[in-house]
Structures are given as C-alpha cells and as structure tokens.
Amino acid sequence: MYFTFITIPIYSLFPSFAKDAEEFKKLLEGYPEAVRKAIGLNVDSIASILGFYSYAFLYITLCGAIQAMNLGVSIFSKEVREKTADFLLTKPVSRTQILSSKLLAALTSLVMTNVVYLAAANMMASQVKTEDYSSKIFFLISITLFFVQLIFLALGMIMSVIVRKIKSILTVSLSTVFALFIIGMLSSTAEDEALRYLSPFKYFDTDYIIKNSGYETSFLIVGIGIIVASIVASYFIYAKKDIHAV
C-alpha cells in the first residue's frame, strides 16, 4: 500500500509542468521515438492532466504488480519454505478452505490498497488540475491497477503451488514482474500486437482508454482468462500436491 503515496510527489510536479508545457514538449521531442514509446510517453497529451497521469500511472502499476506478485507467490510457498505446512494441514480444515482463506486475505489487501490509492489520486488530481477532465476516464485508467494486480496475484498463486520450494519470494516476484514489464516495453517499441498479449502491463492501453472511454475487449478477455485459469489450476494442483512433513 506504500506505493499509493507516490501519487503525491508525482502530482505536485504537474502545475509547473503544465505551465511550461511547450518547452517540455520540445525537450521531449528530442528523445528518439522508440524510447518515447518504450517508456509510455505521448508528447501530444503529456501537458493534459490525463496524459500526464497516464505516463506516471505506468510506473504506479509496476509497483502494484510487485505487491500483487509478492502476495500470490507467498500464498503457499512461505509455509513450505518455513516448514509449517504439515502443521497447518493437520488442522480440521480442507485444503480448499486453506487456499480460499489465503486468497481472500490477499484480495482484501489489494482492495484496501486500491481504495486508498483511488482516494489519494482523486484528491491530488482535483487539487492540481489546470482544466476540467473526464472523471470517468480518470476512473477507468485508475481501476486498471486492480485488474493488473489480479493477474499478477493469480500468476504468483499458480507459481507458488507448482514450484516445489521457493527460497526467496521477493527475488521471484521482482524477476517475473520486471521481465514482463520489459516485454511490454519491447512490444510498444516494435508496435507488435501479438507481443502485447505476453505482458499484462499492455492489456490496458491508456491512450486507447482516453480516446474510446473503454477497454480493448480482446485483452480484457485474455486477462480474465489468465486469472480464472490460474486460480482454478492452483486449487486443483494444491488439492493433489504431495506436501512433505518436516
């Protein structure tokens, strides 16, 4: 939840940025187009609050993905690493109940994070805006943080039940998230639609959301499919998995 406070220093830069918008645009146009695409920088809209927010939001999503991946990977791997799994499974509860409780706890954490983030983002946007903007589009962009987090939570969850023993949750989480983030950057640089499907960071294109006030259906379906398939597979594997006693 700590990353929600990133919005405060980010938004504090917008008034001065908007004031000297033309100078900043000229400066940004000096960057190679491939670099601008890779880091999600749209020169034409960067001076508007939604354009500025879209650029900063990419890195807020990166932080959120790390949080979600950490939660997902730790759902099962932590008790295996600390050798407490056999103790837990001797209790009069089923494996389905155990996994459901862990998943619900992780979801509660993500929901709380997003509620705080939305409140902070809306408050800062209303304070620094220099012109009216669409609150609907602002919300559509902001809520994609939760969608992306759900995907990474599900990926972390399936990873935690498949891999026999994960020594470092943070190492696995960071390497997975950054690898998919880099793939997303490459897909933007190459303008490869097929490559976008490999990176959840590119499932919700902010430029598309601003122009169309909605999401791309194909990527939304793929995202939901990943979440459902990963969670269902996690339950199935966990129910059949051999868990060794200490």
The whole-angstrom separation of Cα 148 and Cα 144 is 6
pLDDT of residue 4: 60
Closest CA to 25 of 3, 1, 43: 43
Provide the angle, in degrees to the nearest 10, between the axes of the packed helices 169-190 and 135-162: 130
Question: What whole-number distance in Å separates Cα of residue 108 and Cα of residue 95?
Answer: 20
Tens digits of residue pLDDT in 184-224: 888 888 777 888 899 999 999 888 898 898 999 999 999 99
Could you tell me the pLDDT band of residue 92, with boundaries at 50, 70 and 90?
Answer: low
Q: What are phi and psi of 245, to 5 degrees?
A: -75, 160
Asked if 58 and 46 touch (Cβ cutoff 8 Å), the reply is no
Cα–Cα dist 197/183, whole Å: 10
Q: Is 161 exposed, middle or buried (0-12, 13-18, 19+ CB in 10 A)?
A: buried
Instruction: Look up tokens 């059949």; give the residue.
Output: 240
Q: Write out pLDDT tens, residues 1-58.
A: 555 666 666 766 776 666 666 666 666 666 666 666 666 666 666 767 787 888 888 8
How far apart are the C-alpha atoms of 17 and 210, rounded to whole Å? 20
Token pair of 99 as six digits: 């996994």
What one-character DSSP code corresponds to residue 6? G
